Chains A and B, each alone.
Chain A
Amino acid sequence: MEQKEKRLIRRVKKGDHQAFAELVDRYKNSVFAICLRMVGNRQEAEDLSQETFIRAYKHIDQFDNDRNFSTWLFRIATNLSIDSLRRKKPSVSLDAELPGAEGLALKELLSGGETMPDEQIVRAEMEKIIQHEISLLPEKYRSAVILKYIEDLSLKEISEIMGIPVGTVKTRIHRGREMLRKHMAAFRGEK
């Protein structure tokens, strides 16, 4: 797997589109997930994911093949997402008020109530709410939380992607989690 990836990258460095297509297939879902959770909008996430791969291709000569390709790629994706967030602050869609029904589903979920609505509806609504909550996090906490919980990466990998020490990654994840907790507690309080 590792060796195959290194061979693919050597081919990409020679300008092989087919080899690059294999790398895109391998990482497109992860890159799209990072971008989507960062910006909270599918269309924008798709544009950012494409841009991530195009940049990776154009700058593949700068990539050191002894390092981890996914780390390098995820770094491009998070940086592009953060740039995009900074460019169009404040976002319209993210600041929109949550409709009441969604709050209801979350309360249902948090309280583990007996009257569980349809599983799928809950899932879809929960997704919207959590996405909304993530969008409220400051971007540096947001990227750390996303890399840990959405991509399931280790603290060390996150520190390499973000270019910060492991201790700082921990602090950001802790603060992010704490902020989410407080928001969720506000939901509970309305009950």
Chain B
Amino acid sequence: MSDAHKKFVSLMNKVLDEEATKEEQRLLDAHIADCSSCRVHFHELRQSADLLNRLVHPQAPLNFTKNVLDKLPADNRHAVRNWVSRHPLYAAMAICALPMSLMMIAARRQTVYRDKNGNGQFILLKMPENRS
């Protein structure tokens, strides 16, 4: 391949990459009008690019997304929610147990205070007498 030919081949590539200036495009057009080997070369290069462009874009197989999701590590984000939906009875018991235990603790404390005070008043409710 001569140097001149090489120069035109790189020009052809520029044109095919849509990066050639108008001037370069004109230069190539003028040359291939005269030079049959470059004309053939350019035609063949363009044809290769066209064939690639015409290749169909394939579709991913059916159920592809589902198959991928099945293989992912478990989604731990909804661990609590999942447990609740699997064990509704335990969940209800757990939810009721919390206020009930609070009530029991509160009741117990009331008894203790009442015992200490002796006249049925809560110590906690007693206001300070002298406020400055």
Q: Is the CB of A180 within 8 A of B54?
A: no
Q: Is the CB of B69 within 8 A of A177?
A: no
Q: Is the CB of A24 within 8 A of B65?
A: yes
Q: Which size bracket describes the interface of B in this complex?
A: 20 to 34
Which of B26-34, B70-78, B124-132 contacts the other chain?
B70-78
Bound CA–CA A35/B106 (angstroms)? 67
For residues 106 through 143 of chain A, which have their beta carbon under 8 Å from a beta carbon of chain B? 110, 123, 126-127, 130-131, 134
Q: Which size bracket describes the interface of A in this complex?
A: 35 or more
Bound CA–CA A37/B56 (angstroms)? 11
Does chain B have a CB within 8 A of A15?
yes
Q: Is the CB of B64 within 8 A of A50?
A: yes
Q: Is the CB of A149 within 8 A of B49?
A: yes
Q: Is the CB of A28 within 8 A of B64?
A: yes
Bound CA–CA A173/B45 (angstroms)? 12
Q: Is the CB of A20 within 8 A of B72?
A: yes
A-B CB contacts (within 8 Å), total count: 98
Q: Is the CB of B51 within 8 A of A185?
A: no
CB distance from A165 to the nearest CB of B (A): 15
CB distance from A27 to the nearest CB of B (A): 9
Q: Is the CB of B52 within 8 A of A36?
A: no
Does chain B have a CB within 8 A of A184?
yes
Residues of chain A having any CB pair with chain B under 8 Å: 14-17, 20-21, 24-25, 28-29, 31-33, 36-37, 42, 46, 49-50, 53-54, 57-58, 110, 123, 126-127, 130-131, 134, 145, 149-150, 155, 170, 173-174, 177-178, 180-181, 184-185
Residues of chain B having any CB pair with chain A under 8 Å: 9-10, 13, 16-17, 41, 44-45, 47-49, 51-61, 64-65, 67-69, 71-73, 75-77
